[in-house]
Amino acid sequence: MELTYVTYIGAKPEEVWNALISPEGTKAIFFGTVLQSTFEIGAPYEYVGPGAAGEETVHVYGKILAFEPYRFMSYTEHPGPAYNERHAELETRVSVTLETVGSCTRLTLVNDQWPADHPSYERTKDSWPYIMSSIKTYVETGKTLDYGW
């Protein structure tokens, strides 16, 4: 099972990349969470922010598989411990590729390697379009989207 999403953003890859990894960008894009990592291959990462376990909820975590600034990153992804008792065994992979297309950046996101019994597949399939739209809007306008949640 593979989830693939593509969008075109009216900005340079550096601007998109910075939104994907900076605290300001991730707070705007990923529902108030901050991405914490050294970004070295094999290093752990966490998206931490308000949620089910309070202000310091780990929403997802994993390890960095590849990291090429302004072009590509890939990482394993587990649901945070507050969301599933089996979080450690529920691993998928996320890969993000940025490519210059004219004066735009094509952002391709692939979320794959889903275990057959992963309970978050349907919810994740529905969540990525919100996140992709948030990335595009934030990078192009500096504003966040309000989904009314």
DSSP 53: T
Per-residue pLDDT at 119 exceeds 90? yes
Mean pLDDT, residues 35-47 taken together: 97
- Tens-digit pLDDT profile for residues 82-103: 999 999 999 999 999 999 999 9
148 falls in which pLDDT band (50, 70, 90)? Answer: confident
20 falls in which pLDDT band (50, 70, 90)? Answer: very high
Which residues does 24 contact at the CB level (< 8 Å), separation at least 6? none
Rg of the chain (C-alpha set):
15
> pTM value?
0.94
- The vertex-143 CA angle with 105 and 104, nearest 5°, equals 10
- Tens-digit pLDDT profile for residues 46-81: 999 998 888 899 999 999 999 999 999 999 999 999
Domains present along the chain, CATH in parentheses: 3-141 (3.30.530.20)
